[in-house]
Amino acid sequence: MQNRILLVEDEVHLQHAIKLNLELEGHQVQISGTGTDAIKIFREQKFDLVILDIMLPEMDGLMVCENIRMYDQQIPVLFLSAKNTPADRINGLKKGADDYLTKPFELEELILRINKLIERSKQIKSSNENKVPKLFKFGNNWINFENHEAQGIGGKFELTKKELMLMKLLIENKNQVVSREHILKVVWDYTVIPNTRTIDNFILALRKYFEEDPKMPEFIQSARGIGYKFTSPELKEA
Amino acid sequence: MDRARIIFIVLSIYIIAAFGWWTYAHYRNNKTIYLQQKDVLEMRCYKATFDIHGAIDQQLFDDTLGMKTFFDPNYPDLEVIFLDSFLPMDNFMVRPKLASYQELEDTYHRKLWMYITEGAVMMLLLLWGMIVIYRSFRKELFLKKMQNNFLLSITHELKTPLTAMKLYLETLLKRQVSQEQLKTIAENSLNEAHRLQDQVEKLLLSAQLDSNKYTIENQSINFSELLQEIITNFKKQNPNEQWIQSTIQDQVFIKGDPTALEMIINNLITNAIKYGGQNSTIEISLQIKGNQAVFSVGDQGPGIHEEDKKMLFNKFFRIGDENTRKTKGTGLGLFIVKHLVELHNGKISVRNNQPKGTIFDIKLQSDAE
């Protein structure tokens, strides 16, 4: 599968040169020229990596990075900036970036770093996936992630694929809020995020399965305006 | 930065208060001295009375004349008054002379005035000194900020074209590109090379101007023709993006340096395009007013704040924060323009355009044929 990269850079020729090279490496590149536009695009689409310039019109790259981190802790962010003092680099890394490359840079180095970052984040993702046990118990419920079977309030039943993925995602990030954008990106595999109530319907269904009182959910809680989180007071792992 | 300011203000207040207290203490001392001297003078009257009674007992003199010859040289600041013409030696009184009082009082007032005027002068000097220090302190901060901004912008302006060129060259080495891509890459690289050249030249020129090493030629130039040429060039470069409206009076001649003049015109028009915003009109005019050639460039951009107008022609000055800059630049353009205009003995000024935007006016001595 092609990796999707968000390139935030306001210099037209640099945009062109970087995009050309990344595309020749087999990546798909989306370009954004301003900080505010970058945030908008990031929230609407699914990416595997973000390349950020620091000196940008409207909003600087550091703020963009902080903003991205509010919605997605995992995605690798690489700063590509002309600012090259140690203080600049430290600041960039502190704001949540994974790597910092100064201009002018070596093409080879940029490509290697990008590939490594993407590869590493994919490894982390898959190892996270393995963290959830095959049979996961919470309260009086359990879910078997292998054969889609589950035990809920109304007894045994079978979860659909999407329901299973959604539960898995929430449980992987237990006690953390998972944003709606992130859910749509992972579970529905959207590259372009639609304005949809799909998630809400799925959450309603899941609450009906597992919650004693779906109006006062114990496990699947809402974080108003952001997304959902899974909490369980006594997390038993089978 | 703010801590330094607070320390400065606290120190200033302390110095002024200390100085004020000092002046006040002097004023008080002066008054005390005056009152004490008055007391001393009056006590000397008792002493003199006592002395004279002693002298009378010892019969050092026996009439008022003798007493006066004894008294006057010994007590020059006092006088003796005989109260009884029949028994003058038994009924007299000693008192300070009016002039003695007068002298004390005069000294008191003189000193008082001295302290007041000296205090006031010193206080004014102190305030003036503080203002000077504060101003240079603020200037220092400002320069530091500008230096910082300059460093950021120059970093960006020099490194960006370099990065793009390098990246393009590496691409050519590493990849197989189509003929069409090759053309784009070469064109873009050349573009960036021009940009870099431009920046380097600007930097060198401003350094030359700074050290007064730049000299201009002094030849007769047809300003109208030169301006028309440059405008035609600009219109060719941006065929449909921007509207350039020009009203140029024919046959305007000035004495000057064609290269420098071209730089001035180019800089102002580039600025107008850069800051005017999309689809805005640029108005260029050239006309003779009296014995002066007046050249104006107006844009319809966001305009410039009054406080920024003062700093506009300073080296490295750029409005706003370098990190979130919409327009690129180093803050050298207007600095160069101003210096070049001044080398022509001309004047540059900036005013607001109506309804919005900015107009730059340049006045140069016209060279009447």
pLDDT digits 0-9 by tens, A124-144: 888 777 777 888 888 888 888
Whether pLDDT at A190 is above 60? yes
Nearest residue of chain B to residue A53 (CA atoms) = B323
Q: Give percent of chain A above pLDDT 70.
A: 94
List Cα–Cα distances, B147 to A118, B86, B271, in angstroms: 39, 97, 21
Residue B225: HSE in the Cβ half-sphere, 13 Å Cα cutoff: 7
Whether pLDDT at B103 is above 80? yes
pLDDT of residue A236: 45
CB contact under 8 A, B175 and A103: no
CB contact under 8 A, B164 and A21: no
List Cα–Cα distances, A130 to A84, A172, B47, B311, in angstroms: 39, 9, 115, 62
**Rounded mean pLDDT, A183-190:** 81
CB atoms within 10 A of CB A211: 18
Nearest residue of chain B to residue A20 (CA atoms) = B171
Q: Can you name the residues that pair with B103 across neighbouring β-strands?
A: none
Distance CA A139, CA A207 (A): 13
Q: Model confidence at A119, in pLDDT bands (50, 70, 90)? A: very high
Residues A46, A97 contacting (CB under 8 angstroms): no
The strand pair at A141-144 and A135-138 is best described as antiparallel
Whether pLDDT at B342 is above 70? yes
Q: For chain B, what are the domain ranges?
A: 2-137, 156-210, 219-365
Specify the amino acid at residue B152. Answer: L
Q: For chain A, what are the domain ranges?
A: 4-129, 133-237
**Rounded mean pLDDT, B262-276:** 89
Which residues of chain A have a CB within 8 Å of the CB of B160?
11, 14, 82, 103
Distance CA A49, CA A79 (A): 11
Residue A151: HSE in the Cβ half-sphere, 13 Å Cα cutoff: 8
**Rounded mean pLDDT, A57-83:** 90
pLDDT in tens, B302-323: 888 888 888 888 877 877 776 7
Distance from CA of B145 to the nearest CA of A (A): 16
**Rounded mean pLDDT, A54-68:** 89
CA dihedral of A14, A19, A21, A25, whole degrees rounded to 10 = 160
Q: What angle do CA B182, B184, B185 make, to 5 degrees?
A: 65
CB contact under 8 A, B168 and A17: yes
Distance CA B255, CA B243 (A): 30
Which residues of chain A have a CB within 8 Å of the CB of B159?
82, 103-104
Q: What angle do CA A99, A105, A110 make, to 5 degrees?
A: 50
State the residue for tokens 């005056």.
Answer: B34
CB contact under 8 A, A59 and B181: no
CB contact under 8 A, B192 and A13: yes
pLDDT in tens, B77-91: 898 888 888 888 888
Distance CA B40, CA B164 (A): 94
Whether pLDDT at A232 is above 90? no
- Please choose, from the candidates A110, A76, A105, A109, the residue with its C-alpha nearest in 3D space to the C-alpha of residue A93: A76
**Of B61 and B38, the one with more pLDDT:** B38
CB proximity list for B178: less than 8 A, separation 6 or greater: none
N-to-C CA span, chain A:
34
**Cβ of residue B232 closer than 8 Å to a chain A Cβ:** no
Q: What angle do CA A81, A82, A86 make, to 5 degrees?
A: 85
Distance from CA of A211 to the nearest CA of B (A): 48
> What letter would DSSP give residue A48?
S
**Rounded mean pLDDT, B266-272:** 90
Which value, in Å, is the radius of gyration of the alpha carbons in chain A?
20
Nearest residue of chain B to residue A55 (CA atoms) = B323
Nearest residue of chain A to residue B181 (CA atoms) = A20
**Of B111 and A236, the one with more pLDDT:** B111
- The per-residue DSSP string of B167-204 comes to HHHHHHHH----HHHHHHHHHHHHHHHHHHHHHHHHHH
CB atoms within 10 A of CB B81: 10
CB atoms within 10 A of CB B347: 14
For residue B159, give the nearest of A57, A82, A108 by CB distance.
Answer: A82
pLDDT of residue A238: 39
**Rounded mean pLDDT, B201-207:** 89
Superfamily of domain A4-129: Response regulator (3.40.50.2300)
CB contact under 8 A, B324 and A105: no
CB contact under 8 A, A60 and B162: no
CA dihedral of A74, A13, A54, A100, whole degrees rounded to 10 = 50
**Cβ of residue A112 closer than 8 Å to a chain B Cβ:** no
**Rounded mean pLDDT, B245-268:** 90
**Rounded mean pLDDT, B130-145:** 87
CATH code, residues B219-365: 3.30.565.10
**Cβ of residue B164 closer than 8 Å to a chain A Cβ:** yes
pLDDT of residue A146: 83
CB contact under 8 A, B323 and A55: yes
**Cβ of residue A58 closer than 8 Å to a chain B Cβ:** yes
CB contact under 8 A, A55 and B152: yes
Q: Model confidence at A6, in pLDDT bands (50, 70, 90)? A: very high
What are the φ/ψ torsions at residue A223 (nearest 5 degrees)?
A: -110, 105
Q: Model confidence at B131, in pLDDT bands (50, 70, 90)? A: very high
CB contact under 8 A, A104 and B162: yes
**Rounded mean pLDDT, B202-228:** 88
pLDDT of residue A235: 52
Whether pLDDT at A59 is above 50? yes
pLDDT of residue A237: 45
Distance CA B95, CA B75 (A): 10
Q: Model confidence at B65, in pLDDT bands (50, 70, 90)? A: confident
pLDDT of residue B240: 65
Nearest residue of chain B to residue A21 (CA atoms) = B171
Architecture in CATH of A133-237: Orthogonal Bundle (1.10)
**Of B165 and A168, the one with more pLDDT:** B165
Helix/strand/coil for A200: helix
Per DSSP, which regions of chain A are E strands? Answer: 4-8, 28-32, 49-52, 77-81, 99-102, 135-138, 141-144, 149-152, 155-158, 178-179, 220-223, 227-230, 236-237
CB atoms within 10 A of CB B23: 17
CA–centroid distance for B302 within its chain = 27
Residues B286, B295 contacting (CB under 8 angstroms): yes
Residues B232, B272 contacting (CB under 8 angstroms): no
Q: Model confidence at A234, in pLDDT bands (50, 70, 90)? A: low
pLDDT of residue A16: 95
Q: Which of A59, A103, A106, A111 to mutate to test the interface with B (most CBs of B within 10 A)?
A: A103
Q: Which of B150, B153, B155, B183 to mutate to test the interface with A (most CBs of A within 10 A)?
A: B155
Distance CA A175, CA B327 (A): 44
Distance CA A71, CA A54 (A): 19
Whether pLDDT at B325 is above 70? no
Helix/strand/coil for B349: strand
**Cβ of residue B322 closer than 8 Å to a chain A Cβ:** yes
Whether pLDDT at A78 is above 50? yes
CB contact under 8 A, A13 and B188: yes
CA–centroid distance for A87 within its chain = 28
Top-ranked range on mean pLDDT: pick from A17-31, B259-273, B293-307: A17-31
Distance CA A71, CA A153 (A): 32
Residue A23, token pair as written in the block = 């595309």
Top-ranked range on mean pLDDT: pick from A17-26, A183-192, B89-98: A17-26
**Rounded mean pLDDT, A19-28:** 94
Q: Can you name the residues that pair with B189 across neighbouring β-strands?
A: none
H/E segment holding residue B160: helix B98-174
Q: Give percent of chain B above pLDDT 70.
A: 96
